[in-house]
Amino acid sequence: MTSPNEPRTTGAVGAPINRVDGRLKVTGAARYSAEIPVDDLAYGVIVQSTIARGTIDRIDAGEAEQLPGVIAVMTPRNAPKLESLQKFEREGSKGSRPTGRALSLLQNDSVHYNGQPIALVIAESIEVAMHAASLVRTTYRVDQPTIDMATALPSAYPSTEKIYGREPPATQRGDLQAGLAAADVRLDVVYTTPMETHNPMEMHATIAAWDGDKLTLWDATQNVHGVRGTIAKTLSIPPEQVRVISHFIGGAFGGKGSAWSHVVLAALAAREVRRPVKLVLTRRQMFGPVGGRPHTVQHVTLGAARDGTLTALRHDSTSSTSTIEEWVEAATLATRILYDCPNEETSHRLVRLNVGTPTFMRAPGEASGMFALESALDELSYELRMDPIALRLKNYAEADPESGKPWSSKSLRQCYALGAERFGWARRTAEPRSMRDGDQLVGLGMATATYPVRRMPASADACIYPDGRAVIKAGSHDLGTGTYTILTQLAADALGIPLGCIRVELGDTDLPQNPISAGSMTVASTGSAVHLAAMAAREKLIQLAVTDPRSPLHVAQHGAVEIAGGRLTLHGDVDRGESIEELLARNGGQPIEGRADAKPGDETQVYSMHAFGSIFAELRVDPDLGTVRVGRLVGAYAAGRILNPKTARSQLMGGITFGMGMALMEHTITDLRSGRYVNADIAEYHIPVHADVPGIEVFFVDEHDEHVDPIGAKGLGEIGMTGVAAAIANAVFHATGVRVRDLPITLDKLL
Ligand code: MOS
């Protein structure tokens, strides 16, 4: 399938190579945002509200200001007024917020959630700043907050904004009531998922430094260009005056996709005190001010014929948002496309609570929504006495049931088959409580996985230097995912230059514009741009050779020139050729540059594009203690071309582990009186540790997709998270006969 202007592969893409930044990371040479050495640094510490709703009555920073080493204390009394926000307030809700999110920038006295930033101490050391922060005295006029999702549920209202600016908040096809009337079996159930909080290894961190009217932010962000735009608008300065750098990120998962309050506060503080300011959130401050996954209450109604054919499917999701901003957990998007049901309705509603505004958290919407949908399918399979995979195959969608568009590719059948085979699904006996290991109850469960293929405009430069090395530049990010590595591989194959001679530069607004690294779209967006930029540089190199009378390749056919190992040769005649160094040395010793501005084309109008997979769980439940031990998690995925099986497998293992945390552990608990985040640390907020994580096995189904993007890759950042919570809940039911519809599945729910 190599077309004339496609490079013949040198085999870098598709090889399980190690991370190119691995050595930097394990030796500590990779510098994260908080580690950047900056001279004359001052330290900022945020003071947070201790009530969930009300007004600041008095805020007394006197004692704090007098502490030796304190440089300034910024409060709503003295913080600089931001004209952009004043204008936004004056003009009402028209137009989008300059800050993107509803941030707490000390512009007024209102308190909307417990833990809201209400002041910032800047001091000579972190210790002094922390001590001073504890000395800021605040009194409030307290209003009654709304904290409890359950009691606030009657106040739910339909979400009317398009989701992600694109998807309708509600959909309807066919006639749901007729479909329910025609059903032999009906299911009408409610599932809930709790608030969850981002706990990446690296906390949010910003260093802000001004040089005249130019601002540099070293920020732990997965969205350098987005942060630049937000900061520029908020501070009313041109974007060119803001540079955002994020070379290494210790996990992001969606939490680092927005410029949150602390980023702007660091910039403001640095301007006020005329010194660079470092502001690192504490683990505790990760709960509230920087978002997380909201609560959901999901109502699923299914109707099916005796043979398993779905006749009706309704999925309504109500999720929590803050009182200052609407944020929708898009829990029914996957439901719209997964099964071929003619009569279907989906909707999203919101409940306003006095909590920090929620945000994207790995597979936002799909992870929580597919827990409900894929649990409901499992419940239906027992009603019908039908194998859960057979039920899914019975309703297999051959085309996108919502849009009617063909899939760009879909290999879900193969994923079910491969997953079932590798897992050993055939040994499962259908009855709940029918499998045992000693006195332990054994459960086997499965679910479908899916995530959309998204792509945004992205640009890249590829530069080949006279020494035969190449540098790739793109203002994208490596969140710990392997972006540096797969971009190196793509460039190596396109340029014909060895992996070790290629350097990839990411995470800087001085580099070509790239989108947020989220939505599993970095490979499709940035990967395509890098491929095309490298191809453009390759073409220039070949052009130079075939038009250079002194080149052994002079007047050769363009398409007959190959580049491999840094050498240009004639196809079929490896002796005729020369090295890149020789060619460039003879031609003025100038670098060769290729540039690509890549963007999606008409394919999105023609095809529906999704990655698919299957996930299987085997676990043991202690019938006396209710403890769940997951023994195996086996996933099979089809996601187009797999650029690097090693980093791809890691991504999926991470996603599956995250899904296991969702199933069994993660739960942000708020005190229903005060709105205080009760378990705001990783001793009390549980996530899987090594000892919890079972054998995870990941398999790939070969899939060729020529429609998704120029490199045929679909992205893997999030699909691993989807379906896992349902597969585990389904296995728990199979083991115990207890259907847990409220995550997380803790032992109290099994006793
Ligand atoms: Mo992800 S939640 O799209 O970073």
- What lies within 8 Å, CB to CB, of 494 at 6+ separation is 7, 462, 530, 531, 534, 535, 537, 538
Q: Which atom of ligand 1 is nearest to the CA of 254?
A: 4
C-alpha–C-alpha distance, residues 264 and 438, integer Å = 58
> Mean pLDDT across the stretch 409-422?
98
Instruction: Pick the residue whose CA is nearest to atom 4 on ligand 1.
Output: 254
DSSP 174: S
Q: Which of 359, 360, 721 to mutate to test the pocket of ligand 1 (most atoms within 8 A of CB)?
A: 360
**Tens-digit pLDDT profile for residues 109-163:** 999 999 999 999 999 999 999 999 999 999 999 999 999 999 999 999 999 999 9
pLDDT at 4: 40
In a domain, 349, yes or no: no
Residues 440 and 479 reside in one and the same domain: no
Q: How many domains does the chain have?
A: 2
Cβ atoms of residues 707 and 607 within 8 Å: yes
Q: Is the CB of 88 under 6 A from ligand 1?
A: no
Residues 651 and 574 reside in one and the same domain: no
Residues 528 and 613 reside in one and the same domain: no
In a domain, 694, yes or no: yes
**Tens-digit pLDDT profile for residues 388-401:** 999 999 999 999 99
Parallel, antiparallel or unpaired: strands 628-638 and 70-74: unpaired
718 counts as catalytic: yes
Average pLDDT, the chain: 96
DSSP 720: G
Count Cβ neighbours within 10 Å for each residue of 214-229 and write b for 16 or more, e otherwise: ebbbbbbbbbbbbbbb
C-alpha Rg value of the chain to the nearest Å: 27
Q: Which atom of ligand 1 is nearest to the CA of 362?
A: 2
pLDDT at 5: 44
CB < 8 Å & 24+ apart, contacts of 210-215: 210/270, 210/271, 210/274, 210/276, 213/237, 213/241, 214/241, 214/242, 214/243, 215/241, 215/242, 215/243, 215/267, 215/270, 215/271
In a domain, 662, yes or no: yes
3-state secondary structure of 488: helix
Q: Is the CB of 451 under 6 A from ligand 1?
A: no
Q: Which of 599, 618, 642 is the last residue of a domain?
A: 599
- Identify the residue whose tokens are 């491999």: 564
DSSP 719: G
pLDDT at 96: 82
Residues 446 and 463 reside in one and the same domain: no
pLDDT at 93: 61
Cβ atoms of residues 723 and 370 within 8 Å: yes
Q: Is the CB of 253 under 6 A from ligand 1?
A: yes
Written as six digits, the tokens of 519 are: 């939505």
Written as six digits, the tokens of 464 are: 């080949």
Q: Is the CB of 257 under 6 A from ligand 1?
A: yes
Q: Per-residue pLDDT for 585 more than 90?
A: yes
Written as six digits, the tokens of 691 are: 């000892």
A 10 A CB-CB count for 689 gives 11
CA distances from 15 to 12, 392, 608, 652, 679 (A): 6, 33, 28, 17, 42
C-alpha–C-alpha distance, residues 424 and 181, integer Å = 38
Residues 527 and 551 reside in one and the same domain: yes
Q: Which of 197, 718, 719, 722 to mutate to test the pocket of ligand 1 (most atoms within 8 A of CB)?
A: 718
Q: Per-residue pLDDT for 535 more than 50?
A: yes
Cβ atoms of residues 476 and 458 within 8 Å: yes
Q: Is the CB of 226 under 6 A from ligand 1?
A: no
C-alpha–C-alpha distance, residues 658 and 652, integer Å = 10
In a domain, 280, yes or no: no
Residues 425 and 437 reside in one and the same domain: yes
pLDDT at 89: 85
Q: Which of 543, 576, 599 is the last residue of a domain?
A: 599
In a domain, 43, yes or no: no
Written as six digits, the tokens of 269 are: 């503080």
The backbone region for 438, taken as left when phi is positive above 0, alpha when psi lies in -120 to 50, beta otherwise, is left
Residues 584 and 614 reside in one and the same domain: no
Q: Which atom of ligand 1 is nearest to the CA of 479?
A: 4
Q: Is the CB of 519 under 6 A from ligand 1?
A: yes
Residues 477 and 415 reside in one and the same domain: no
Helices (H), 236-284: 261-273
A 10 A CB-CB count for 55 gives 13
Query: What are the helix and strand counts (H, E) for the chain?
Result: 19, 30
Q: Which atom of ligand 1 is nearest to the CA of 519?
A: 3
**d(CA 253, ligand 1 centre) in Å:** 5
Q: Per-residue pLDDT for 8 more than 70?
A: no
**d(CA 254, ligand 1 centre) in Å:** 4
pLDDT at 294: 98
Cβ atoms of residues 328 and 169 within 8 Å: yes
Outline where DSSP puts E strands in 212-330. 214-219, 242-245, 277-280, 292-293, 296-304, 310-322
C-alpha–C-alpha distance, residues 520 and 505, integer Å = 20
Written as six digits, the tokens of 477 are: 């990010």
Residues 723 and 662 reside in one and the same domain: yes
3-state secondary structure of 569: strand
Beta-bridged to residue 630, according to DSSP, are 619
Written as six digits, the tokens of 664 are: 């069994």
Q: Is the CB of 308 under 6 A from ligand 1?
A: no
Q: Which atom of ligand 1 is nearest to the CA of 361?
A: 2
Written as six digits, the tokens of 237 are: 């300065």
| CATH of residue 422 | 3.30.365.10
What is the span of the domain harbouring residue 498?
22-30+456-599
**d(CA 255, ligand 1 centre) in Å:** 7
Share of the chain above pLDDT 70, in %: 98
Half-sphere exposure of residue 385: CA atoms within 13 angstroms, side-chain side: 2
C-alpha–C-alpha distance, residues 383 and 186, integer Å = 9
> Mean pLDDT across the stretch 328-342?
98
**d(CA 359, ligand 1 centre) in Å:** 9
Q: Which of 599, 620, 652 is the last residue of a domain?
A: 599
**Tens-digit pLDDT profile for residues 421-460:** 999 999 999 999 999 999 999 999 999 999 999 999 999 9
> Of residues 374, 582, 618, 718, which has the active-site annotation?
718
Cβ atoms of residues 735 and 433 within 8 Å: yes
Q: Per-residue pLDDT for 10 more than 70?
A: no
Residues 491 and 590 reside in one and the same domain: yes
Q: Per-residue pLDDT for 6 more than 70?
A: no
In a domain, 546, yes or no: yes
**d(CA 222, ligand 1 centre) in Å:** 9
In a domain, 728, yes or no: yes
In a domain, 536, yes or no: yes
Beta-bridged to residue 192, according to DSSP, are 297, 742
- Identify the residue whose tokens are 């490979």: 523
Residues 447 and 411 reside in one and the same domain: yes
The structure's pTM equals: 0.97
Written as six digits, the tokens of 164 are: 């992600």
**d(CA 313, ligand 1 centre) in Å:** 27
DSSP 475: S
> Mean pLDDT across the stretch 479-501?
97
C-alpha–C-alpha distance, residues 287 and 55, integer Å = 21
C-alpha–C-alpha distance, residues 489 and 531, integer Å = 10
Residues 483 and 410 reside in one and the same domain: no
**d(CA 247, ligand 1 centre) in Å:** 18
Q: Is the CB of 518 under 6 A from ligand 1?
A: yes
Q: Which atom of ligand 1 is nearest to the CA of 253?
A: 4
Q: Per-residue pLDDT for 1 more than 60?
A: no
A 10 A CB-CB count for 309 gives 17
**Tens-digit pLDDT profile for residues 230-270:** 999 999 999 999 999 999 999 999 999 999 999 999 999 99
- Identify the residue whose tokens are 């529906």: 608
